[in-house]
Structures are given as structure tokens and as C-alpha cells.
Amino acid sequence: MTDILRSYFRQEFIESWFFVTVGVLAIGCGAWLLCTGISY
């Protein structure tokens, strides 16, 4: 049972890093668009 829980939380941890990476990239792209003056 503890192995199942550890595996589950390990996968959740890896998934959370994916979303953190996507968020940081989105913020970086937004900052780049603001600095270059591109607007829609």
C-alpha cells in the first residue's frame, strides 16, 4: 500500500514540475511580448 502511495505522489510531483515549467515559459513569453511592443 505504501509503495502505491509513494508511486502516486512521485508522479504528482513530476506532473507539478511540468505545469511550473509551462507557467514560467508563459510568463517569459508575455514579458518578451511586452518588451518588444507586440500587441494584438
d(CA 16, CA 14): 5
Q: What is the pLDDT of residue 23?
A: 98
d(CA 28, CA 34): 10
Q: Domain boundaries in the chain?
A: 1-34
Q: What is the pTM of this model?
A: 0.67
d(CA 13, CA 8): 9
- Cβ-contact 33, 39 below 8 angstroms: yes
Which residue do the cell numbers 502511495 mark?
5
pLDDT by residue for the chain (40 residues), tens digit each?
899 999 999 999 999 999 999 999 999 999 998 899 876 6
Cell readout for 9 is 505522489
